[in-house]
Amino acid sequence: MNGAPDSPLKIPIFRALWIATIVSNIGTWMQDVGAGWLMTSLSTSPLMVALVQASTTLPMFVLSMPAGALADIVDRRRLLIITQLWMLGGAALLAVTTFAGLTGPGLLLSMVCAIATGMALSAPAFQATVPELVDAAALPQAVMLVSLGVNIARAIGPALGGLVIAITGGPAAVFALNAVSGIGVVVVLLHWRREAPRSDLPAEHFLGALRAGVRYTLQAPAMLAVLLRCVAFFVFASALWALLPVIGRRELHLDPMGYGALLGFLGLGAVIGAAILPELSRRTSSNSLATIACLLFALATGLLGMIHHFAATAVVVFMAGFAWISIMSSFSGAAQMASPAWVKARSLAIFILVSQGAMTLGSTFWGWLASQAGISVTLITAGTSLAAVQLLLLRFPFDMEATLDLAPAPNWPTPLVRSKVSNDRGPVLVTIEYRVDSSNVAAFVQAMIPVRRSRLRGGAMFWAIYEDVAVPGTFLETFVVQSWIEHRRQHERGTPVDRGFEETAQHYHLGPPPVVRHLIAPL
């Protein structure tokens, strides 16, 4: 991949951040091994062990949307620096309490949750930063490299964490190394000179930004398809991640080094999968690749409930890692491509919220089921259910190859006003009058359906279209925006896709350009 003409690794800041993030993720995976291993020493309950995974994913579920809104309205670089320092401090504190012998089950879950809070606040900002570091042509490769970096860390971190636990006799040193591993990311971010997108408009308010992110996602079919597939995968796939520590310690009777080696096979499968993923992507669509990978992961999950030998388990988790990188690259890439720059962090935050929320709920449920019915029954049930759901969802494809042109392309002229309108005035009613030949009415109404979604994605709270009963063929499109500043933002948020929808509808309009009016409530 390095030799590609448009390789993102040729960009110094992307390369430096990529390497620093790999080091930091190695520390994170070392901590995950240490936390899971420590909990198996502190409690014999499979539910308590599963709650370690749930404590990692719960902050993602709760905070991803607020984090996405922050990442779109504040300086992402500063946000990333603050959250990295928070995680560094949390890992250092966990190391101190563990060295002192003060870490019990409750404190361990609390500290893991606190560190994961920093990860949750930084994740949307980091993902939304990738398109700022590379051009559009290199973005798919950059997304793949980010996933590859995560899985390189997954291959090295668990084995290294197990080795450190075995050498030092406990996980405290692992927690300390995790704190040190985050320093490089902070250094790179401090040297990054970010060029923030310029706008003549003031930044959005926090709550308004949250509403705009949700509104956009609900009216974006491409993003909704990705989210549906995420739920259908992560709810069931979480069983493997949540119960793997129990399998390693209780079923296979592994020591820390053996458990780290087992996770290393999973990461190795992901790295090898990433190496051949470009070739696989050229041979099949992202949707087909993701479906096949989900079925492969389902098979691995079920097989883990049937085998009880280290060598066979290592082969199965290798297979799971191979499938995982294909799934994550497909989902992450599709989510990146489905949102424009102005709302990217919020859209990606919803993607994280859905995926991590599904992981949190799934981990808790499968941990409870394992404590009631046993590990084998739980994993076989999860694997079978995952395969069945994936086959049922074949009718809801997503396709990264059919990418949308969502580059900034304001497609409306600036509204004409006789006197200055204050930004907080509103609500604003916009009307657009069309005249359509009677033979084209049905086609025109059909063409207005994507226009409706476009208006609502851009900020409209309400949209409708009416036909004049006195003058058949005369239509009035209306939509309401919360305030004048929100309508001005609509003008900045236009994309070539939105312009295409409007041009298709206006193709049926007769005569001069449609008449546009802006009306503001007087009180």
Residue bearing the bigger pLDDT, 377 or 195: 377
State residue 114's pLDDT score: 92
Distance CA 114, CA 55 (A): 9
State residue 300's pLDDT score: 94
Helices (H), 440-516: 441-458, 484-492, 496-506
Q: Is the pLDDT of residue 203 over 80?
A: no
* CA atoms within 13 Å, Cβ hemisphere of 125: 26
Q: What does the pLDDT look like over 375-385, one tens digit per residue?
A: 999 999 999 99
State residue 408's pLDDT score: 63
What pairs with residue 76 in β-bridges?
A: none
SS3 479: strand
Task: Please provide the average confidence, as pLDDT, over all residues in the chain.
Answer: 85
State residue 505's pLDDT score: 93
Q: Where is 403: in which H helix or E strand? A: none
Q: What percentage of the chain's residues is helix, strand, coil (to nearest 5)?
A: 75, 5, 20
Distance CA 284, CA 171 (A): 43
Q: Is the pLDDT of residue 398 over 80?
A: no
- Using CA atoms of 492, 496, 497, 500 in order, give the dihedral in degrees to the nearest 10: 110
pLDDT band of residue 97 (cuts 50, 70, 90) is: very high
- Distances in Å between the alpha carbon of 3 and those of 12, 141, 411? 15, 12, 38
> What is the value of pTM for the model shown?
0.74
Q: Per-residue pLDDT averaged across 94-118, rounded?
A: 91
Residue bearing the bigger pLDDT, 28 or 196: 28
Residue bearing the bigger pLDDT, 112 or 337: 112
Domains of the chain by start residue, with CATH: 8-192+205-395 (1.20.1250.20), 428-520 (3.30.70.100)
State residue 446's pLDDT score: 95
State residue 5's pLDDT score: 42
Q: What does the pLDDT look like over 223-265, one tens digit per residue?
A: 888 898 889 999 999 999 888 888 887 788 888 778 777 877 8
List, in sequence order, every beta strand (DSSP E) within 300-454: 428-435
Q: Is the pLDDT of residue 108 over 60?
A: yes
Distance CA 254, CA 499 (A): 60
Distance CA 293, CA 298 (A): 9
Q: Is the pLDDT of residue 409 over 90?
A: no
SS3 220: coil
The answer to whether the CB of 185 falls within 8 A of the CB of 126 is: no
Token pair 């993030």 in the structure block, residue:
21
- Using CA atoms of 291, 292, 295, 301 in order, give the dihedral in degrees to the nearest 10: -120
State residue 400's pLDDT score: 47
Residue 515: left (phi > 0), alpha (psi -120 to 50), or beta? beta
